[in-house]
Amino acid sequence: MARLQHDMIFINLPVSDLAASKRFYTGLGFKENTVFSDEHTASFEVSDAIVVMLLETARFSDFTKRPIVEKNGSREVLNCLSVCSTEDADEFVRRAQEFGGTITRELAAEGPMYGGAFDDPDGHDWELMYFDPEALAQMMPEG
26-74 pLDDT, tens digit each:
999 999 999 999 999 999 999 999 999 999 999 999 999 999 988 878 8
Q: For the chain, list the strands marked E by DSSP.
A: 9-15, 31-32, 41-45, 50-56, 79-82, 102-110, 113-119, 125-131
* Prediction pTM value: 0.88
